A and B are shown apart, each in its own frame.
Chain A
Amino acid sequence: MTSVRPLAPPEELRSALSDDARRALDDMVAVLAAGATTLGRVFPAAARRTARGDLAAGGPRLEDAVRVELVAIAATRLAPGALLDELDQLYRYGDADEKRAVLLALGGIDDPAVDGSAVLLDALRTNDPRLVAAAMGPHARRLSPHDWRHGVLKCLFVGVPLAGVSDLAVRADAELTEMVRRYIDEREAAGRPVPDDALLVHDLTTLTRPEA
């Protein structure tokens, strides 16, 4: 069975929900745990049955935490391959909120048998910063160095803060520094401001890995 890290501890999530929303969540969890329904059936309506908005300032969104918990429950009954199929389908037919929740759920999956990199790459082809940000979480360690670097550059382009990119300090390399260098040059040549995050990548790699 594949374990899925929650975005928020179940008690904390429940304490942020209204009575009706809490009941709706417990109800969805119970039917999923009993195998009486599928993720595909409960996923689309999960937000309107519970809540939307921030769990806490700077914390995850309530609807994301709800959907990731539903994925975790469904995962207890699915083999890794079946879980990946289900996540693929949820993503393929999801609206942008559902897609983001799938990406965040993948971020909580370390099981090597579940490789959602195809979904991540789809998200990185969009221009929606919420999807780009969610794709660069912990699951992005499955991406090849080439794809991962382009993911970081995409974050700079669409304004996703690099603080949310997992493994940045570990994976940033000379090639990424070069790419960011060229991006900075281009901005400067155009007389446009350079985002602080671009300088941060640059410093990060030049300071920690001097490669003369």
Chain B
Amino acid sequence: MRIFDPHIHMTSRTTDDYERMHAAGVRAVVEPAFWLGQPRTSVGSFTDYFDALVGWERFRASQFGIAHHCTIALNPKEANDPRCDGVLDVLPRYLAKDGVVAVGEIGFDSMGPAEERAFRRQLDLAVEFELPAMVHTPHRDKEGGTRRTLQLVEESGIDPGLVVVDHLNELTVGPVDAHGCWMGFSIYPDTKMDPQRMVRILQERGPARVLVNSAADWGRSDPLLTHATGEAMLAAGFSDDDVDRVLWRNPVEFFAQSGRLLLPETDDAPAPDASSLFEGNSILRGQQVS
């Protein structure tokens, strides 16, 4: 099973996770820029974070045989803090970079006017930089937030095929599908969506425009739930090809629209063995292991 996790916050994960992910078949990821749990109070802490996404984290992933990409944006939660307004002005610098495969996560948190301003402006940036957009839907009033999200997407003029609306559930998937946007599902240990519910949605709608992610971050989450979903699909009678489409070809198709994917030439590059894994690597406290 080869897996492309289209939404995972690796900055918050350990090298053990990278090892387990590789062993489970994960060969590529997209790490969306998001909230870090502790609110940031200046533009500088955002640029350092963005630099880490296009620098250190990409390097760290490469040591474990995983191609790391990211999306860059001012997230909706921090869009409410006027001290972070300047982040919008530095985004163009990052949106031009290789491996930056979308503008995101954008969208709504508590649906205030500052969030809406930032959301609109960043949809415009996606159009300007010819990038897909990754849209987060709120935890509170998900249905209302999804409706308003789709209105803003429509008003921005962006091609709906370039938009993934994420963290969907049984109630919000319908309108997103009807708009022609891609449908993202975050499989969590106890909230949002679980593998069985995901399988039922796939049985009802089929695999078209569906992205399955672990959205693993600093909260209770599990980077292997993409793999668990693949197993649940097989157990429910889906074919290997169906699983490959949902867990690999769909995310590749969606993010390839950016023209900035950094996938290796061959899809099934050999797994790095224990010795080459750490060769020339400085993840272990800056010292090479030999």
Taking Cβ atoms with an 8 Å cutoff, the residues of A that contact B are 44-45, 47-48, 93, 95-99, 126-130, 157-160, 192-193, 195
Evaluate contact between B290 and A195: CB separation under 8 angstroms.
Answer: yes
Evaluate contact between B54 and A96: CB separation under 8 angstroms.
Answer: yes
The chain B residue with its CB closest to the CB of A42 is B96
Evaluate contact between A127 and B290: CB separation under 8 angstroms.
Answer: no
B51: chain A residues at CB < 8 Å are 93
Which of A95, A157, A158, A193 has the largest number of chain B CB atoms within 10 A?
A95
Evaluate contact between A95 and B97: CB separation under 8 angstroms.
Answer: yes
Q: How many angstroms from the CA of A126 to the CA of B57 in the assembled complex?
A: 12
Stretch at the interface among B151-159, B160-168, B220-228, B280-288: B280-288
Does B120 sit at the interface, judged by CB under 8 A? no
Q: How many angstroms from the CA of A85 to the CA of B194 in the assembled complex?
A: 52
Set A44, A45, A158: member contacting B286, Cβ < 8 A:
A158
Knowing A95-B54, A95-B55, A128-B59, say if A158 contacts B97 (CB, 8 Å).
no
Evaluate contact between A129 and B282: CB separation under 8 angstroms.
Answer: yes
Evaluate contact between B288 and A157: CB separation under 8 angstroms.
Answer: yes
Taking Cβ atoms with an 8 Å cutoff, the residues of B that contact A are 51, 54-56, 58-59, 93, 96-99, 259-260, 279-283, 286-288, 290
A93: chain B residues at CB < 8 Å are 51, 93
Evaluate contact between A44 and B96: CB separation under 8 angstroms.
Answer: yes
Q: How many angstroms from the CA of A47 to the CA of B100 in the assembled complex?
A: 13
Evaluate contact between B96 and A96: CB separation under 8 angstroms.
Answer: no
Closest 7 CB pairs of A and B: A127-B282, A95-B54, A159-B288, A159-B280, A44-B96, A158-B282, A96-B55
B58: chain A residues at CB < 8 Å are 95-96
Set B55, B96, B97: member contacting A128, Cβ < 8 A:
B55
A44-B98, A158-B286 are known; give 11 further A-B pairs, CB within 8 A: A44-B96, A44-B97, A48-B260, A95-B54, A95-B58, A95-B99, A99-B55, A129-B281, A129-B282, A159-B279, A195-B290
Q: How many angstroms from the CA of A161 to the CA of B287 in the assembled complex?
A: 14
Evaluate contact between A45 and B96: CB separation under 8 angstroms.
Answer: yes
B59: chain A residues at CB < 8 Å are 96, 128, 130
Instruction: Tell me whether chain A's interface is mostly helix, strand or loop, or mixed.
Output: loop
B260: chain A residues at CB < 8 Å are 48
Q: How many angstroms from the CA of A45 to the CA of B131 in the assembled complex?
A: 14
A160: chain B residues at CB < 8 Å are 280
A95: chain B residues at CB < 8 Å are 54-55, 58, 97-99
Evaluate contact between A48 and B98: CB separation under 8 angstroms.
Answer: yes
Knowing A128-B59, A159-B279, say if A192 contacts B286 (CB, 8 Å).
no
The chain A residue with its CB closest to the CB of B96 is A44
A195: chain B residues at CB < 8 Å are 288, 290
Q: How many angstroms from the CA of A130 to the CA of B54 in the assembled complex?
A: 15
A47: chain B residues at CB < 8 Å are 98
- A34 CB to nearest B CB, Å: 21
Knowing A96-B55, A128-B59, say if A157 contacts B98 (CB, 8 Å).
no
8 A-B pairs (CB sep. < 8 Å): A44-B96, A45-B98, A95-B55, A98-B97, A127-B282, A127-B286, A128-B56, A159-B279
Set B54, B56, B97, B280: member contacting A129, Cβ < 8 A:
B280
B56: chain A residues at CB < 8 Å are 96, 126-128
